[in-house]
Structure 1
Amino acid sequence: MLKSVNRVLLGAAGLVLLAIGGAVLASGLGLPVPSWWPFDGRHDVLLSVRGRDRWRDEGWWWPVVIAALAIVLLLSLWWLLSQLHRSRLSEVLVDSGDGEGALVRGRALENVLSSEAESLHGVDRARAALRGRRTAPEARMRLVLEAHAQPTATLAELTTGALAHARDSAGLAELPAEVRLHAAKHRAQRVS
């Protein structure tokens, strides 16, 4: 959902910028422009002499303009880098024995890891995420333990159970995992 909203917003922003840029270019080349366009000639400027001189004597004007443009630039770069960064692994390459391999969806393997971890004694909730490369994935898991759970026993069961099954079924030599254990929140019990 977030990916599609992101693409729609990016497409809309691109169309608006393309339309404005095209209209400025057409106006600068002396081509006919729409009647609502504020600049209608080749020698028309964005800011008139009066508009440029209006803020010249104010000492705060140019630092504010430069700071605002710097903030817009930094936010744009941050957004661009966040688009390029992939936090989750979309697929895992499984050795099928025929030399070519098969692709398994990363979400499917994450769901299996989570459901098998939730079936362990003392685990209330579990969430798994795969990161790394598709030939060498790494698991990051978050387990919420019930009050009576023993963390060392649960971690041992997870290592020999869910993680070992995922490693063996994907045909991986190893599946490094980072497991974070949290206690489930519960209400205090009254003693009468």
Structure 2
Amino acid sequence: MLRAVNRVVLGLAGAVLLCGGGAALAAGTGLEVPSWWPWYGRRDVLLAAADRERWRDESWWWPSVIAALAVLVLLALWLLLAQLRRGRLTEVLVDSGDGEGARLRGAALEEVVEAEAGTLEGVARARVRLTGRRRAPRARIRLLLEPHASPQAILERLGTHTVEHARTAAGLAELPSDARLRAAAHPARRVT
């Protein structure tokens, strides 16, 4: 979702800047512009004195301007923080039974699940990525299947053994998983 929001916001900001810059450039170079165009020539200013002072005496003007700018700043900060947030879980908090708990590296758990999923019959390659929160991780599993593989059997084995082993080993109450299966493409061979 973050990728889609990034594209929409960047697209809108780019369109506004491109249109505004094009309008200012067209008027500044002295090109013929339509009568409804906001700027007419090289000596025209972006905001005339009358435009700048039009709403000054209205009681709603400054609170509205400040509120709109505050919303824009908060939106920009939210987007910045979303960019800095990692997509991959770096550690998982494990209940060790002594009330203290322990930290398990997320990469270590990913490697173990990948190795066990890769040994399933019919799986050519497995990739695992942990997401979510440290106390409530989620697993995204991508499997590349061999041509003879049975997807239903692989999914059953993945859920009942591989994910269950990882959940038990990490001491988690649950480990929600999203598995994506893709068939391996093999080139055709000529038989003589």
- In structure 1, C-alpha distance between the alignment counterparts of 2:171 and 2:148, rounded to whole Å: 35
Q: Distance in 2 between matches of 1:99 and 1:170?
A: 15
Instruction: Report the CA distance shift for 1:161/1:55 in structure 2 as closer, same or farther (over 3 A).
Output: same
Matches within 5 A, 1:33-48: none
Aligned-pair CA distance for 1:130 = 0.6
Displacement of 1:185 in angstroms is 1.3
Which residue of structure 2 lines up, in the alignment, with residue 55 of structure 1? 28
The normalised TM-score by structure 1 is 0.59
Opposite residue 162 of structure 2, the aligned amino acid is A
Give the deviation of 1:105 after TM superposition.
Answer: 0.7
SS at 2:28's partner residue? coil
Q: How far apart are 1:79 and its partner, in Å?
A: 7.4
Displacement, 1:84? 2.6
In the TM superposition, residue 56 of structure 1 has moved relative to its aligned partner by: 6.6
- 1:147-162 matches, within 5 Å, as 147-162=147-162
For 2:140 and 2:118, the matched residues in 1 are separated by 15
Match of 2:174 in 1: 174
What number of residue pairs does the alignment pair up?
127
What residue identity is the alignment partner of 1:55?
A: G
Q: Which structure 1 segments of 5+ residues have no match?
A: 1-53, 67-76
What percent of counterpart residues are identical? 58
Distance 2:168 2:138 in 1: 14
5 Å matches for 1:3-152?
55=28, 57-58=30-31, 80-152=80-152
Consecutive unaligned residues of structure 2, counting only runs of 5 or more, are 1-26, 40-45, 47-75
Give 3-state SS (helix, strand or coil) of 1:113's partner: helix
* Secondary structure, aligned partner of 1:110: helix
CA–CA distance in structure 2, aligned partners of residues 189 and 153 of structure 1: 28
Aligned equivalents of 2:81, 2:128: Cα separation in 1: 24
Give the match's secondary structure for 1:108: helix
Distance 1:170 1:182, change over 3 A: same
Shift of 1:81: 4.6
The CA distance in 2 between the partners of 1:106 and 1:116, in whole Å, is 16
In the alignment, residue 80 of structure 1 is paired with which amino acid? L
How far apart are 1:86 and its partner, in Å?
A: 2.1
1:92, distance to aligned residue in structure 2 (A): 0.3
Matches of 2:170 and 2:119, distance apart in 1: 20
- Cα distance, 1:80 vs structure 2: 2.6
CA RMSD of aligned residues (A): 2.7
Equivalent position amino acid for 2:179 in 1: V
Cα distance in structure 2, aligned partners of 1:161 and 1:185? 27
Q: Per-residue CA shift, 1:19-66, capped at 9, x if unaligned?
A: xxxxxxxxxxxxxxxxxxxxxxxxxxxxxxxxxxx9374559x8xxx9
Secondary structure at 1:161's aligned position in 2?
A: helix
Deviation at 1:156, TM superposition (A): 1.1
Match of 1:73 in 2: none
Give the TM-score normalised by the residue count of structure 2: 0.59
